[in-house]
Amino acid sequence: MFTNLGDSMDSGQNSSGSLAPIARYDISHVQEVIQQAHEELRLLLQQRAEVMKRIGTVKQTISGLANLFGEGVLNEELMELVDRKSSGRQPGFTKACRMILMEAGRALNSRDICDYFQQKMPTLLARHKDPMASVTTVLNRLVDYGEAEAVHLNGRRAWRWVADMPVQSGANGSAVRFNRITA
């Protein structure tokens, strides 16, 4: 589209076709915008991590209450939101890993989760050529989603559900304060 007429016209493109910085323009304002965008992105990612921890806490609380009082206390929408909705078939592999980790209340390694699958959902595990690798992949993906965090347990890699942990009980046994789990 641009024709090069000596130095009088510059398309701003380099040989690869991407835009190249043009030396004759002051880009300090661009650097300022980039810095502000960087700061906002960092803040948003931090907020997302905090929201994911809170979501994890609420899901874990609801699942715990359903375990205590039966799934009848949950309506259909809530069962779906906490990954407990039964469609008449076994849950998906990722959903099952999520439920196992959430309900464990502690860090688990890949072997722990495979053992749980073997005991409770062997047909779901049987669909995978290398179950340990599949579990590890899913757990790492849950870390990427902000739903789990990787930790070291007895010198091995393990994962735990990201949630706030109750640290104090009220007179009636209800949790009154939460602390963040840190790796």
pLDDT band at 53 (very low <50, low <70, confident <90, very high): confident
More confident residue, 107 or 19: 107
Distance CA 106, CA 79 (A): 22
**Residue 112 in tokens:** 């722990």
**Residue 176 in tokens:** 């009154």
Q: Annotate 96-109 with DSSP letters as a single string.
A: HHHHHHHHH-S-B-
pTM (2 d.p.):
0.56
Distance CA 155, CA 148 (A): 19
What is the per-residue pLDDT for 115? 93
105 contacts: CB under 8 Å, gap ≥ 6? 60, 161
What is the per-residue pLDDT for 167? 38
* pLDDT single digits (tens) 58-111: 888 888 888 888 888 888 888 888 876 655 545 688 888 988 998 888 999 999
Q: Annotate 15-61 with DSSP letters as a single string.
A: TTSSB---TTS--HHHHHHHHHHHHHHHHHHHHHHHHHHHHHHHHHH
For the cut 80, the answer to whether the pLDDT of residue 17 exceeds it is no
More confident residue, 43 or 126: 43
